[in-house]
Chains A and B, each alone.
Chain A
């Protein structure tokens, strides 16, 4: 039961974090109309995954493992690009955030970008969904205590969905400046995790063969198969024993991007933000024209 709970939580978190942030982001950016599309996209992804899992079951076929890992890897790469774009967008907007323009920010979020974010929520669920749906069906047919196994997995997924919803609600409540600051950092964690897990699935897909030695062994700290391990892997994208390439990828994304996010946020309300650190303010993306 615990084992299936852990897997449900881990796989669910990987999707729920992104969906929660995307939904909060769209809401904050004055596009509440798109929220419904996010839920629709998520529902569609869930339906597709469930249909595939049931279809495979009826044909007594198994999910093609390598293709599944390839799919996860491709979606990871796409998602890293989109999350990075969100981070950059928010940083640019944070400097224009002095006091006003809660609404003005939304004007800059052009239709295409909103759609891209909706697509991302869809893909985030699709990425984890196939495997999880197949797993869920299997758990309910386990040879020992099938019901406990199945409901354990469901409980894990439910908790993950709850966390994602919590992020959405929380993200909607806190004030916009803090939302940008906090979300920026959370997004850096999410994207770093996507880089690491993309390298992991890339290895399982047969695409990444270098740097597979164990970089560090955290299994004394994070017992494999525990809820804590599920949280670490689900949120940070790091295995209890990350391979060298995964750790390098994680750090190579995390260090520069977290600096990028933290730097301009460090300004007190009185002092004006550091002048002209980045003179290139794209007028197409900037919320203010003054």
Chain B
């Protein structure tokens, strides 16, 4: 009875299925990530529909969101690593929970993520930076 093979073969199958769903998710994600960049520059227009843009600038010192306060609703984060080799990853966290993140941003690289934000206190977390957590606030209403 060569026992190890049973669970071992189940693994690859599961993983391949996940890999496939990952690819599908990547494709279906296209419209969601494509729209915000078009509407991103006019923040005040329609706060509930079009995501507003928050720019996160990463340096060795810290990663700084601009603006640092925004009203609730969909928000697109534009993450730009200016010159930090210490930190190559930016996360939006609430307490210990990671809500969204962008990894592998070496100097000169940028990336975006979009999500619906509810009012509360958040942090922009960049592991490795001198100041790892920078507060970010979401207020109620517009």
Contacts and interface: CB of A to CB of B under 8 A. Distances in A.
Interface string A50-74: 0010011001111111011011001
Interface residues of A, number: 64
Contacts of B8: 78, 81-82, 85, 112-113, 115-116, 119-120
Contacts of B86: 223-225
A119 B108 contact: no
Given A3-B107, A143-B110, A63 B2 contact: no
Interface string B52-88: 0000000000000000000000000000000011111
Interface string B20-43: 011101110110011000000000
A179 interface: no
Contacts of B4: 82, 85, 112-113, 116
Interface string B90-133: 00000011101111101111111100000000000001100000
Nearest to A226: B85
A31 B96 CA distance: 47
Nearest to B128: A224
B92 to A, nearest CB: 11
A123 interface: yes
Nearest to B37: A60
Contacts of A143: 108-110
A65 B9 contact: no
Residue of A52, A67, A149 most packed against chain B (CB within 10 A): A67
A65 B19 contact: no
B21 A67 contact: yes
A59 B30 contact: yes
B22 A142 contact: no
A7 B14 CA distance: 27
A111 B7 CA distance: 15
Nearest to A116: B8
Contacts of A62: 26, 29, 33, 111-113
B22 A68 contact: yes
Given A56-B26, A119-B11, A143-B110, A239 B104 contact: no
Interface of A: 2-4, 6-7, 48, 52, 55-56, 59-65, 67-68, 70-71, 74-75, 78, 81-82, 85, 110-113, 115-116, 119-120, 122-123, 126, 130-131, 134-135, 138-139, 142-146, 149, 153, 203-204, 206, 209, 212-213, 219, 223-225, 239-241, 284
